[in-house]
Structure 1
Amino acid sequence: MKWFVAVEWTLLIMVFLRVLSGLIELTVAGLILRFNSIEKAIVLNGLLAVIGPTIFILSIVIGLVGITDKLSVPKFMFIGTGAVCILIGARL
């Protein structure tokens, strides 16, 4: 049985970004509880509104860079358009 599985660096970076994002979310949740203030909770949620999409875009860009040799330019544009649509839809 094969126990060692090779994982691409691109995938590891994407996983790290998702784990980091989750840890940031949990940390902010703890800070909101600790501060026990609606005003501070709004500020912290505002910070998360910037961090979340940034990690999302970074993760997609890293993934696309990792598969540059496998996709054509129109497919890249289609994926990029889809990511932008997700961000626009989440904001409206």
Structure 2
Amino acid sequence: MKSWFYTIEMTLLIMVGLRFVSGMIELTVAGLILKFNSVEKAIALNAMLAIIGPTILVTSIAIGLVGMKDQLSISKIVFIASGVILILIGIRK
């Protein structure tokens, strides 16, 4: 009998792992904010999350694109990359 784990693509597992780590970081920071009970420290911790979130997003998308390289034409990859860049520009201050 084959396990379901072996039917999942490695690229997908890496992307899921990144999102899991990102979620755990978010939950840890939420706990720290409650523990410190300080608006100043909450702002500092949120600022760190503002760096981590987009980094995880771009890394996850890049890994996904590498995993799909055989299925995508170069023009589609350019359009997707442009979309990611526009998202990052849109969320800037």
Runs (4 or more) in structure 1 with deviation over 4 Å come to none
* Percent identity (aligned): 63
User: What does the per-residue CA deviation read over 1:18-39, in whole Å, with 9 as the maximum and x for residues that have no partner?
Assistant: 1111110010000000001111
Q: State the shift of 1:88 in Å.
A: 1.2
TM-score, normalised to structure 1, is 0.93
Matches within 5 A, 1:28-67: 28-67=29-68
Show structure 1 runs of 5+ residues with no match.
Answer: none
Partner of 1:88: 89
Q: RMSD of aligned C-alpha atoms?
A: 1.6
Shift of 1:4: 2.9
> Which residue identity lines up with residue 4 of structure 2 in the other structure?
F
Tell me the equivalent position of 2:24. Answer: 23
Aligned residues: 92
Report the 3-state secondary structure (helix = DSSP H, G, I; strand = E; otherwise coil) of the residue aligned with 1:17: helix
- Cα deviations across residues 6-51 of structure 1 (Å, max 9, x unaligned)? 0000000000111111110010000000001111111100000000
Distance in 2 between the 1:4 and 1:45 partners?
A: 37
Any unmatched runs of 5+ in structure 2?
none
TM-score (ref. length: structure 2): 0.92
Counterpart of 2:34, as a letter, is: L
